[in-house]
Amino acid sequence: MLRQYELVDLVKSYDPDADEDALNRAYVFAMKKHGAQLRTSGDPYYSHPVEVAGILTKFKLDSTSIIAGLLHDTVEDTDTTVEEIRKLFGDQVAQIVDGLTKLAMIEQKSANNKQAENFRKLLLAMSEDIRVLLIKLADRLHNMRTLHFCAPEKRARIAKETLDIYAPLAERIGMQEVKTELEGIAFAELHKEAYESIQARLNFLREQDSDLVPKIIARLEKDMKENGIKASVSGREKSPYSIWRKMQQKNASFEQLSDIMAFRIIVDDVGACYQALGVVHSKYHMVPRRFKDYISTPKPNGYKSIHTGVIGPENTRIEIQIRTQEMHEVNEKGVAAHWAYKQGERVVGKNFRWIRELLEILEQASNPEEFLENTKLEMYNDQVFCFTPKGDLIGLPVNSTPVDFAYAVHSSVGDTCVGAKINGEIRPLRTVLQNGDQVEILTSKAQHPSTEWDRFVVTGKAKAAIRRYVRAHKRDQFITLGQQLLERTFKNENLEFGEKGLINVLPNFEAESIDDIYAKVGEGLVTAWDVMKAVYPAYKQSKLGKVVKSLTFSKTPRKDKSKAEPLKIKGLIPGMAVHYAGCCHPLPGDRIVGIVTTGKGVAIHTIDCKLLEKFADEPERWLDISWGDAVDDSPHIGRLKLMLANEPGSLGDLSNLIARNNGNICNLNIVNRTVSYFELLVDVEVKDLKHLTDIIAALRGSKVVSYVSRAG
């Protein structure tokens, strides 16, 4: 553990103007407040904040950060208050400690969404001051170094959270050293056998090729010197975790990996980087698709370097990284490497674009779990780099599409995206973007996000925006449907329906407004009967048969007063969330019934569907509906069950016959096969029941079809 004077000397070694008095007072304050508290290891508890402060000095952070590191646990674990810290050490220290304390309080909760809520709080705190993240990383790093003192189940939880959250965050701000150490300790805890296996192989390689690395370094140094380039060369072994992850991603064995060893050539300036690259490529064969220029197109975290794979000295396949000394510092220490401390300056996290994007996702997420899912998408993926028509560079995860690109430019561009030109050619929105693509987004004010987009977008920002729109759109539908269901249920029981009664039962359903109750009923999360019983608790429910009888399937459906034009389905509110049941495939012309389903709106079934038996005791879910008078040009799915002769050309005859009757096969499944016959299920796009009946009649007249009927 660092002594008081040693810590002060470390800070003053890189910041001569540091507040020595405040540092001394903070050290003594932390020792006194934590007093006789002990860690799991048995060490005095104050050794932890002192070690955290020591880690922060390696980042060369300002004295405000060091003081906050010393005090970060005092409010949580002692009788210290934020106001006391503000009075003794100033507003900035108090604000940072307050943010870290709120995080610690969240971490102690046992709720299922603890990790997600914790990350949400961390994001909000670091958006105000990025130093919160730096101190939190130092705190986590020291906790990981002492992880072996914890109970096994606690070790596994902390290690997984480190891999999921803190290592990616360290990478996001370019702190490669911290990221590598966090990953290494977590990997050894979570995948002990894999860690030991890779470590054993690395040890074997070191022993077997003990003189290989020095030979390659000497050869590269000679190559640089002969061409007048001043350079230092070093070898670097990949970490066990990065090797394991690459083996997983590429489905490759340890022996198949080519870049277990990387060699760094560090030169004086950018021009020398490209000179060195020229020397390397002129002397050694380049490995295809292994060249990356992160100097001209840096990574989002500021990483700059040239990477190339070559068959190098000693005929060995190696990776070479070429960079300047300044780049090397930034690549290893990230934000901390170019920390420009000025007295009183407030370091705001919102200056970092990726934090702004995560804040946008936070605003659009419906719950902490969804936010965590989308931010993981945002942080984990490798990048491709694409350009706007003006030449601006946009970094995106691998497998991104034009829709992801549009949302990366701006949320409003994504919401109104209707098409895209990739390298001057109009391409589908689901096209996967490649490195170097120039993308122009076509927009329309009439456009809105499509639920189909959620199937192919990969960025968290795009997914969050699409889901937010879908939620808002569906909620309006559920509110309308829920109100209709409640009105009908109350009317059937001859009870008065009014908003006053609903207001009184809001707490019963954890609702903040009447619309919340409507939405829950419409979505199927709460039944109309539950609400009615809550409003009239003394009421004795009548026989359910009374409600069932009220659902008469009249030949003349009631008119919808809200809209003059005819509807495709009568008895529903226009725009209501509706889907056709896959069990019976209802068609215009069938007698139908609507069933309110949880989270999906209304399912349309045929009146004779066997699945309706499941809802016999839930009449509040049933809706009296029928087909409307509108001309519906959209195709409907009719399912056929048939026996087809097992002979050459019979399948072609079947498809031709259906096509001649204006049907379109959209799915075909061979259920059974014998020497003589195929038993098939065929889904056919048709206009209505009559259309399907005509197709069935035509098939029955075919010599290759021995049996056909509509599948129920």
- Cite the active site residues: 76-77
423 φψ region: left (φ > 0), alpha (ψ -120 to 50), beta (else):
left
Phi and psi at 398, nearest 5°, equal -55, 145
Distance from the Cα of residue 35 to its chain's centroid: 43
Q: Residue 392 burial by CB count (10 A; 0-12/13-18/19+): exposed, middle or buried?
A: exposed
Q: Which tokens hold the place of 237?
A: 């072994």
Q: Which tokens hold the place of 218?
A: 């000497």
User: CA dist 159 to 146, 191, 238, 497, 590, Å?
Assistant: 12, 10, 20, 55, 58
Hunting for tokens 């039944």 — which residue is that? Answer: 527
- Alpha carbon distance 453, 528 (integer Å): 34
Phi and psi at 443, nearest 5°, equal -125, 160
- Alpha carbon distance 606, 604 (integer Å): 7
- Alpha carbon distance 278, 308 (integer Å): 11
Hunting for tokens 């192989």 — which residue is that? Answer: 201
Cβ within 8 Å of residue 432, ≥6 positions away: 399, 400, 401
Per DSSP, the chain holds a count of helices (H) and strands (E) of 28, 21
- The closest alpha carbon to 241, from 162, 310, 142, belongs to 162
Q: Is 563 in a helix, a strand, or coil? A: coil
Q: What is the dihedral of CA 379, 381, 387, 391, to 10 degrees?
A: 40
Q: Residue 249 burial by CB count (10 A; 0-12/13-18/19+): exposed, middle or buried?
A: exposed
- Alpha carbon distance 222, 228 (integer Å): 10
- The closest alpha carbon to 213, from 197, 230, 237, 231, belongs to 237
Q: Is 450 in a helix, a strand, or coil? A: coil
User: CA dist 537 to 492, 494, 505, Å?
Assistant: 17, 15, 11
Q: Which tokens hold the place of 134?
A: 């730096």
Distance from the Cα of residue 698 to its chain's centroid: 51
User: Is residue 595 a contact partner of residue 612, using CB atoms and an 8 Å limit?
Assistant: yes
Q: Which tokens hold the place of 644?
A: 């087809």
How crowded is the C-beta side of 113, counted as CA atoms within 13 Å?
12
User: CA dist 679 to 219, 533, 643, 698, Å?
Assistant: 71, 51, 5, 18
User: Is residue 679 a contact partner of residue 607, using CB atoms and an 8 Å limit?
Assistant: no
> Residue 358 is inside which H or E element, if any?
helix 353-364
- The closest alpha carbon to 265, from 300, 299, 291, 231, belongs to 231
What stretches of 470-588 adopt beta strand conformation (E)? 569-570, 578-580
Distance from the Cα of residue 445 to its chain's centroid: 28
606 φψ region: left (φ > 0), alpha (ψ -120 to 50), beta (else):
beta
- Alpha carbon distance 118, 491 (integer Å): 47
